[in-house]
Chain A
């Protein structure tokens, strides 16, 4: 059996990669994928805890997160399509109209 620490370290690495991706990448789709990566990192730690504690709570929560992620993907991709058609670019920094 894989020790829980290994799974948590992997989860943390994936989460940090995702976070850095969100902050550093400029392409909206990449940013979006990184957000998904962060969500799945969290899923991994949920499942690991669920297995090590022998309860089902974590797995149930994972289903919730996956449902939300699916919905978010649908809405998010639709928004990205609209942005692309409007601005003809996918650079995150060009979408800055909502400011002071």
Chain B
């Protein structure tokens, strides 16, 4: 079939498959479970996402077979044929947008998503509520695909809220545990703050463009007047408001606090939602609106600084975490910071490149940590692990590849994308941001190898009983690990920034490639690995001495820069305390109740005076009726 015949409907099929999976599981899940010895539901969920992956590949291939005139952008907008909203000048058609950017995103979402579904077969095999788990996972896949395929901001927003909902449901999957349901609520509330910014940004964009269609915005942005640094016009305001939304979803300062807590969810969920796909939605959105962001230097600077600060801060916190998943969570926050740094220095393609490689190696690391946790029968504290290298060799070797990839060692994927980000920062003449990114890269290498050494090397510290139980995971968990390890090793060779260049429609940047940067980056990564080796393998008593030598710093990192404490204080004292003292006792009890009661007492006063007209005497009523009739007639008949 020709691409013109395929593209109008296949992208909708990509969306509908996981949705159908969700609906079937939600309605008939129990029946499937009983009928097929508990495996049917899980297989159905995997099949829908694998089917989506196949269709995604097909539609991306079709996109590249579209006959195009020279120089015209490569995109296709499948349209369902009707409007979702039509109110006055406000139109939201039911249309999707397929271009190289959303093509890469759907391949990541369905590809990595399929592997994580398969992994969940093994990981969740002991859980009572598998059917609910897989139905949520399918629903998430649907919303995430809607987010990246949506042809206009409102449709993107539906996906955005949908993935937030699924994130909440899956973080609180084990809702009988208090900490899990609290973490779910925290994620939901923090995301709401960001979403408010996103809505306001959308309103501002509609106000200035008259359309929320992504193509209209991208086309219109080029003709706007560029707002320089320090100017605060409507573009800057819109970009910053949208960036608030991105901060919430992608866990940037100051809205990053929910992501580490989100690790209460099952580990495959952490891999899929909180590492590979959902948390990168903010980066996707900023990259999607790249031409708009490019018109505001202030917004770009804010994005870059927030990104760099987050990258550094999260990396320092990751240094002192003992929970294996918490390390990876802060590492994710840090890597997302890298992506925003790349956006902020104008290297949007590079940001998506890092998103792409990060999806592979971070999913690999999370699934690997899940395999470790599975082997340790639920233990997550690295201080109780050690020496697992020989007992779970498949997990170990894939984990090593993941660590090398994230640390940025050639030829693994992270090397290429991190290198490009550093080059972007250098070419944008931002030496401070470049330095911060380089330092964060060293910290990244350090904490990842600290994790590796603590978990897989040395002696086993979990006691004899636990040691006896350590076992390698089933094939359904190892297969995704191996495939992701292969991906982490090779995807760096794809020239993603080059593929994406036409999407952003930016004037060609001066693309120097200073040869010393890869060397410096590698040296820094090796230094980080070396320090980790020195501290955790060669001299295991050194970390405690270092911690006591830098006590204030250690305390700061350990307390996560007191963000949670400050928010907690603010909520308790200002929000709840203020509501209690001012809003409740004065505004509600005083003004609102007072005005309602006052109105009632005015009515009561009048009624008290007027009620004496009710004499109870029939003749007085009759007299009043007659008087009224005469008065009315007199009024009407008066000449």
Contact = CB atoms under 8 A, between A and B. Distances in A.
Contact of A98 (B616, B619, B626): B616
A19 B629 CA distance: 12
Interface stretch (B361-369, B423-431, B607-615): B607-615
B612 A93 contact: no
Contacts of A98: 614, 616
B496 to A, nearest CB: 86
Contact of A99 (B615, B619, B623, B626): B615
B637 interface: no
Interface residues on A, range: 10 to 19
Contact of A96 (B617, B622, B623): B617
B618 A99 contact: no
Given A22-B622, A23-B623, A93 B617 contact: yes
A9 B626 CA distance: 19
A86 to B, nearest CB: 15
Nearest to B621: A98
A98 B620 CA distance: 13
Contacts of B623: 23
B614 A100 contact: yes
A37 B35 CA distance: 87
Nearest to A96: B616
A61 interface: no
B604 to A, nearest CB: 14
B413 to A, nearest CB: 89
Contact of B615 (A19, A31, A92, A96): A96
B617 A19 contact: no
Interface in A6-40: 19, 22-23, 31
B619 A92 contact: yes
Contacts of A22: 619, 622
Contacts of B617: 92-93, 96, 99
Interface in A31-84: 31
A22 B611 CA distance: 24
A13 to B, nearest CB: 16
A12 B438 CA distance: 109
A19 B616 contact: no
B619 A23 contact: yes
A92 B614 contact: no
Contacts of B618: 31, 92, 95
Contact of B619 (A93, A97, A100): A93
Contacts of B626: 19, 23
Nearest to B615: A99
Interface in B348-406: none
A95 B616 CA distance: 7
Contact of B616 (A23, A31, A97): A97
Nearest to B623: A23
A96 B612 CA distance: 13
Contact of B622 (A23, A93, A99, A100): A23
A93 B615 CA distance: 10
B277 to A, nearest CB: 73
A76 to B, nearest CB: 12
A23 B626 CA distance: 10
Contacts of B615: 96, 99
26 contacts: A22-B622, A23-B619, A23-B622, A23-B623, A23-B626, A31-B618, A31-B619, A92-B617, A92-B618, A92-B619, A93-B617, A93-B619, A95-B618, A96-B615, A96-B616, A96-B617, A97-B616, A98-B614, A98-B616, A99-B614, A99-B616, A99-B617, A100-B611, A100-B612, A100-B614, A100-B616
Interface of A: 19, 22-23, 31, 92-93, 95-100
Q: Which 7 pairs show the lowest CB-CB distances between chains A and B?
A: A99-B616, A96-B616, A100-B611, A98-B616, A99-B614, A100-B614, A96-B617
